[in-house]
Structure 1
Amino acid sequence: MPADRLHLVRHGEVHNPRRVLYGRLPGFGLSVDGRRMARQAAEYVHGLDRPVSALIASPLQRTRESAEPFEALFGIEPVIDERVIEPTNVFEGRRMKRALANPINWRHLRQPDVPSWGEPYAQVVARVTAAMDDAWDRVPAGDVVVVSHQLPIWVTHLALSLQPTRHDPRKRRCALSSVTSFERRDDADGSRRWVEVAYAEPASTAGAVDVGAV
């Protein structure tokens, strides 16, 4: 038997006083509020009263720290999976408004459907869904929690919903410490597909700084 449900959980607020696009840069851990948000996300999943059998996290500091409350509440150690990491982008370490004001950077915006400023959306979806498939098949029963990042979660949602992955980053439905839940179901033709079954924003994010990635 495979797993029962898989939850894609976004990390909490990051300590980012300069408000740069941190991407995959090291040294960006959770703020005090971010740790509270991560705890609220874990408490939400715990409150579903569903057994969690596996915990997976991106290798970046903010996701590993966001996995800690899940480890404490469910008593399971996280497995680090590079496939659910933040995508690369050429604007890492910069402030977005300043970067876009410089004409030399405009060339990076020439193909927003790819996108031309970072890792292709199709590649992100492929690696995240591969990690989801492997986790689902590896866990004999119970739920899986995957702690990841906004863009991987959002473009995976779009792709699995059969929507175009090109989008406006300002309009993503993937708040800090949000939980997007999926199940795998059988179609009439015998194939299996991921189906989103729930989305929740259990953490209070009022006043949060959320400018870390594109």
Structure 2
Amino acid sequence: MSLATVHLVRHGEVHNPERVLYGRLPDFHLSELGQQMARRVAGHFAARAAGGASIVRLVVSPLTRAQETAAPVAEQLGLDIVTDDRIIEAYSRFEGMSQVAQQLRNPRHWPLLANPFRPSWGEPYSQQVERMMAAVDDARRAAVALAEANGSAGPAEVILVGHQLPIWVSRLAAENRRLWHDPRERECTLSSITSLDFDGRRLIGVRYEEPSADLLPGAANLPGA
């Protein structure tokens, strides 16, 4: 069996009343609404498993908000959390700032905006794709091996819980689209699921779902890195 699906899950809403661009900063926890979103994601995958899906692995960014989003998934599916640093949030020189749009009016920050196509203020989009897709490939292969060992007949499925920007640029690369973009146009809402379908190493499809769509109007949402 070589068919597999890798589900890229964005974390739920974070408690962030100061609207800090938290990036890789520690100790940013899910809000109550974010915890509800995490339970929605868990219910979504539990329903898939009850319907016969072979979900065999759960891989998570080391950051608190991702780990907390993954916790109810792990509990409902009976999976261990495997932490992978490669699916961490993108690095940004704006990390730790609050009210970023207002701060960028300060001329001292303008040199960081010199090349939005790379981008010049943080980790290059191409490097994010490289590390994310390496993690995706390793997770896919591990899931296929586990599913085969368990005697599963259907496609192997693995869940990766991470962050908006790395997930979005990985989707852009998978769909052969340019990596630079307007952050406001990312289709990767809180607790959304971007699914990559594989036949062996060949990507054969990309799907997108929002199990918490009805919760999004009340959520605080920063574009990310």
Same topology, TM > 0.5: yes
SS in 2 for 1:205: helix
Instruction: Give structure 1 regions of 4+ aligned residues with deviation exceeding 3 angstroms.
Output: none
Deviations 1:59-110 (A, max 9, x none): 0000000001110110011100000000110111112123211111011111
SS in 2 for 1:206: helix
Structure 2 partner of 1:52: 55
TM-score, scaled to structure 1: 0.93
> Percent identity of the aligned residues?
46
CA contact (8 A) 1:180 1:196 kept: no
* CA–CA distance in structure 2, aligned partners of residues 35 and 110 of structure 1: 38
Higher mean displacement: 164-173 or 134-143:
134-143
* CA–CA distance in structure 2, aligned partners of residues 199 and 167 of structure 1: 18
CA contact (8 A) 1:12 1:177 kept: yes
CA contact (8 A) 1:23 1:212 kept: no
TM-score, scaled to structure 2: 0.89
* CA–CA distance in structure 2, aligned partners of residues 61 and 195 of structure 1: 32
* CA–CA distance in structure 1, aligned partners of residues 177 and 135 of structure 2: 20
CA contact (8 A) 2:2 2:199 kept: no
Per-residue deviation, 1:51:
2.3
Structure 1 partner of 2:64: 61
Structure 1 partner of 2:117: 113
Structure 2 partner of 1:185: 199
Q: Mark the runs of 5 or more structure 2 residues left unpaired by the alignment.
A: 148-155
Q: Classify 1:163/1:152 alpha carbon distance in 2 versus 1 (closer, same or farther; 3 Å).
A: same
* CA–CA distance in structure 1, aligned partners of residues 204 and 88 of structure 2: 22
Structure having the higher helix fraction is 2
CA contact (8 A) 1:125 1:152 kept: yes
User: Could you tell me which amino acid in structure 1 is paired with residue 224 of structure 2?
Assistant: A
Query: How many residue pairs are counted as aligned between the two chains?
Result: 209
Per-residue deviation, 1:3:
6.0
Structure 1 partner of 2:210: 201
Q: Mark the runs of 5 or more structure 1 residues left unpaired by the alignment.
A: 187-191
* CA–CA distance in structure 1, aligned partners of residues 59 and 223 of structure 2: 21
Structure 2 partner of 1:86: 89
Higher mean displacement: 91-100 or 31-40:
91-100
Q: Classify 1:183/1:206 alpha carbon distance in 2 versus 1 (closer, same or farther; 3 Å).
A: same
User: Could you tell me which amino acid in structure 2 is paired with residue 60 of structure 1?
Assistant: L
* CA–CA distance in structure 1, aligned partners of residues 114 and 166 of structure 2: 21
Deviations 1:133-174 (A, max 9, x none): 011111222310000000010000000100000000111000
* CA–CA distance in structure 1, aligned partners of residues 174 and 20 of structure 2: 30
Higher mean displacement: 151-160 or 40-49:
40-49
Deviations 1:26-81 (A, max 9, x none): 11010000000011112112222312100000000000000011101100111000
- Give matches, 1:1-214, under 5 Å: 1-2=1-2, 4-48=4-48, 49=51, 50-95=53-98, 96-139=100-143, 140=145, 141=147, 142-185=156-199, 192-203=201-212, 204-211=215-222, 213-214=224-225
CA RMSD of aligned residues (A): 1.3
Higher mean displacement: 6-15 or 138-147:
138-147
CA contact (8 A) 1:128 1:152 kept: yes
